[in-house]
Amino acid sequence: MQPPNAAKRPVTREIHGRTRVDDYEWLRDKDAPEVIAHLEAENSYTEARTAHLAELRQQIFDEIKGRTLETDLSVPTRSRGYWYYGRSFEGREYGATCRVPVTDPADWTPPAPADVAPDQPALPGEQVLLDLDALAEGHEFFSLGGSSVSPDTRLLAYSTDVTGDERYTVRIKDLETGELLPDVLEGVLGGATWDRAGENLYYSTVDESWRPDKIWRHRLGTTQDRDELVHHETDSRFWMGVGRTRSDRFLVIAIGSKLTSEYRYLDADHPEQGWQVFSPRREGLEYSLDHAVIGGEDRFVVLHNLTGPDFELGSAPVAPTAPEDWQPLVPHDPAVRLEDVDAFAGHLVVHQRSEGLTQLRILELHDGGVGDDYLVEFEDELYTIGSGGNPAFDQPTVRIGYTTMATPSSVYDYDVRTRTLTLLKQAPVLGGYDPADYEEHRLWATAEDGERVPISIVVRRDARAAGPVPVLLYGYGSYETSIDPYFSIARLSLLDRGAGFAIAHVRGGGELGRRWYDDGKLFRKQNSFSDFLACARHLRETGWATRVVAEGGSAGGLLMGAVANQGPELLDGVVAQVPFVDALTTMLDASLPLTVTEYDEWGNPEADPAVYDYMASYAPYDNVRPQDYPPILAETSLNDTRVLYVEPAKWVARLREVAGADVLLRTEMSAGHGGVSGRYKSWHDRAFTLAWILDRMGLATAR
């Protein structure tokens, strides 16, 4: 069967004295019938080429579904007299958000039902806030951007996206009557934030390049065209967001580029002072802001990099303050990367990482100031720990999430006063799952320059005992984003067929601190690619892997394209999801989404010939060459605003033309950057990809 043939229509561009010819730029015209026809032809070709995997796909979907408790609810979190939770229902894609009243204000133990039936309230007094399946009815795609209950608990502001372009519509529901207020806010990025009085909503909108550049104030009962512009950020390198401190006292506007921060705050106790700049932006200074009461005094807690690249936690008066006057609470330590801080009435929770693993640090607060400082510790070799679902400023507990590659996601409450952990729930895995059947390890590969690169790997014990196994190697390596160990029910369909799963923690990510990030961006981006190939080589040469299939998405898709060009002999297949493979074209066009804000990550090839030449040396689309490529599956979405569908479409066409590569393109025609919506749709989607991966591994026989 012959693949679709994309016509060559050369477009020539001269820049910095270099000539660049692009034969497939015509595929960018999303509204052209011939482009849609080409994408649909690619989908038909992909479906035909993978028809032999239909039975396996269905089997994997059934396995995911069979291992998942379909009717369930999340562990409730407490806020302003209610316990809030989410529900899922057998046969329904999206579920519901609910709440029940708190019956004993002194008891912070979340309620738990003895049983959950799909047609009954999960807990006494249950109120359904949003029926997400009802909201999604009639739409091919649906995403809830955010939901926020007003401080008086009477109103709910929620946002929805029904195309996948991440431009949301905010509506407001009266929780007493169930009716929608006439207020409608269009074109919002994410959700909206209430002020303390519950009279105004703050939200952000984006400019033509999809940069959140404006913050607005909407007064209830008015139309959007009367909303007040609070701040317009004109520097195209910076983006913005708005939120409220957990203490409820301050509204904050966070303004940031890749390298520089600025915060503005509005004090609800002194609104007459208006919005104030806490510390004006200073090139290269990054900081975040929260409110705490330390030693009986209102203070801002500031996480910043003034004293070192791995950040320090300091405190400052509730007033505009120079960075040199911030007082240290946790000094900079080059062995510990401080990443975030959550402030509560009685303690601070610091999110940090050391030696490639996440950690939670507790700083107790009392009348005399900061008290004991210690870690919440677990004993596994590999794990991921974080805090979330902690909305109440005065809560005595910290809600903790914990997982390993073999341990399902677990929810704990940590009592700061007694220093005890209570397991509230571990995600159920049906069908007799036993974590002891699997082993997980931290391996270390040696990169070209001698750097040691960590690998996290999980495999069934019985498969490993029999010798090397095929391995799916995942990578990302950009934006200081860390891909930490995590559990996946869908992954069991891979592991239980005798394969392994590994994560290559390559430079460009944040796993080993700011240095790890700096060594994998700008003129050091090549380290990300050579690190990944070193990991693939290590798995083969040390007896772990018989075959290696690579997978990555978005900026990790750029990683996939680069390693396919540079080390095809090490890979037996490549999955590139929403891949950023035409990086040079994108970064040469300042009008495209995210381009200008990403100059600090990739450089500006339009302004600097050296950046142009360096990006041209690794950009996947520009470096396709006549060689033997491994089979490639490229997956994208038509409505993606982050990485446009045209990038993989062009890349696939060039791979076929230049190298005769065996490459498939699969485009979701009603989705965005995150792929399809709805859990059953996403399970089918993952089953398709896993079946293709197993086929590349020689493990595609249906059971």
CA distance 602 to 555: 11
Whether residues 37 and 101 share a domain: the answer is no
Lowest mean pLDDT across 376-385, 546-555, 609-618, 675-684? 675-684
**pLDDT at res. 472:** 98
**Residue 516 structural domain:** 11-65+432-697
Whether residues 91 and 46 share a domain: the answer is no
* DSSP assignments along 405-416, one per residue: SSSPPEEEEEET
**pLDDT at res. 406:** 98
Residue 562 inside a domain? The answer is yes
Whether residues 592 and 689 share a domain: the answer is yes
Distance set, CA 170 to CA 145, 155, 158, 196, 674 (Å): 9, 13, 5, 19, 20
Whether residues 622 and 518 share a domain: the answer is yes
**pLDDT at res. 678:** 87
With CA atoms as reference, report the closest residue to 129 among 155, 109, 90, 92. Answer: 155
Residue 55 has pLDDT above 80, yes or no: yes
CA distance 455 to 441: 8
- Which tokens hold the place of 449? 């320059």
Distance set, CA 159 to CA 340, 454, 501 (Å): 26, 39, 36
**pLDDT at res. 677:** 84
Boundary (domain end) residue, out of 137, 156, 183: 137
pLDDT by residue (tens digit) across 260-306?
999 999 999 999 999 999 999 999 999 999 999 999 999 999 999 99
Instruction: Say which CATH number the domain at 497 has.
Output: 3.40.50.1820
Average pLDDT over residues 29-48: 97
Whether residues 58 and 100 share a domain: the answer is no
Whether residues 133 and 36 share a domain: the answer is no
At 209, the pLDDT band (50, 70, 90 cuts) reads: confident
Boundary (domain end) residue, out of 104, 121, 137: 137
Burial (0-12, 13-18, 19+ Cβ within 10 Å), 586 = buried
Average pLDDT over residues 596-622: 97
Helix, strand, or coil here: 488? coil
Average pLDDT over residues 464-488: 97
Residue 57 inside a domain? The answer is yes
User: Which residues are CB-neighbours of 17 under 8 A, at least 6 positions away?
Assistant: 609
**pLDDT at res. 210:** 86
Average pLDDT over residues 138-161: 96
Whether residues 678 and 611 share a domain: the answer is yes
Contact between 251 and 273 (Cβ < 8 Å): no
With CA atoms as reference, report the closest residue to 698 among 564, 573, 561, 537. Answer: 573
What value does the mean pLDDT of the chain take? 96
Residue 510 inside a domain? The answer is yes
Residue 362 inside a domain? The answer is no
Residue 675 has pLDDT above 90, yes or no: no
Whether residues 16 and 86 share a domain: the answer is no
**pLDDT at res. 702:** 58
Residue with tokens 């929403």: 578
Residue 671 has pLDDT above 80, yes or no: no
Residue 683 has pLDDT above 90, yes or no: yes
pLDDT by residue (tens digit) across 167-196?
999 999 999 999 999 999 999 999 999 999
Q: Which residues are catalytic?
A: 554, 640, 673
CA distance 473 to 697: 12
| Higher pLDDT pick, 671 / 84 | 84
**pLDDT at res. 114:** 83
Q: How many domains does the chain have?
A: 2
Whether residues 56 and 101 share a domain: the answer is no
Whether residues 575 and 638 share a domain: the answer is yes
Whether residues 550 and 608 share a domain: the answer is yes
Residue 1 inside a domain? The answer is no
- Which tokens hold the place of 419? 């220093």
Residue 338 inside a domain? The answer is no
**pLDDT at res. 288:** 98
Helix, strand, or coil here: 46? helix
Average pLDDT over residues 144-158: 96
Average pLDDT over residues 376-396: 93
pTM over 0.85? The answer is yes
Contact between 694 and 473 (Cβ < 8 Å): no
Average pLDDT over residues 664-668: 96
Whether residues 119 and 46 share a domain: the answer is no
Residue 43 inside a domain? The answer is yes
**pLDDT at res. 594:** 78
* DSSP assignments along 242-269, one per residue: EEE-TTSSEEEEEEE-SS-EEEEEEETT
CA distance 308 to 14: 42
At 703, the pLDDT band (50, 70, 90 cuts) reads: low
Average pLDDT over residues 10-31: 97
Residue 391 inside a domain? The answer is no
Considering the chain, what percentage of its residues have pLDDT values greater than 70?
Answer: 100
Residue 90 has pLDDT above 80, yes or no: yes
Boundary (domain end) residue, out of 137, 164, 186: 137
Contact between 286 and 259 (Cβ < 8 Å): yes
Residue 522 has pLDDT above 70, yes or no: yes
Contact between 168 and 145 (Cβ < 8 Å): yes
CA distance 303 to 342: 10
CA distance 561 to 566: 9
pLDDT by residue (tens digit) across 341-373?
999 999 999 999 999 999 999 999 988 899 999
Number of H helices, E strands in the chain: 13, 39
- The values of phi and psi at residue 565, to 5°, are -70, -40
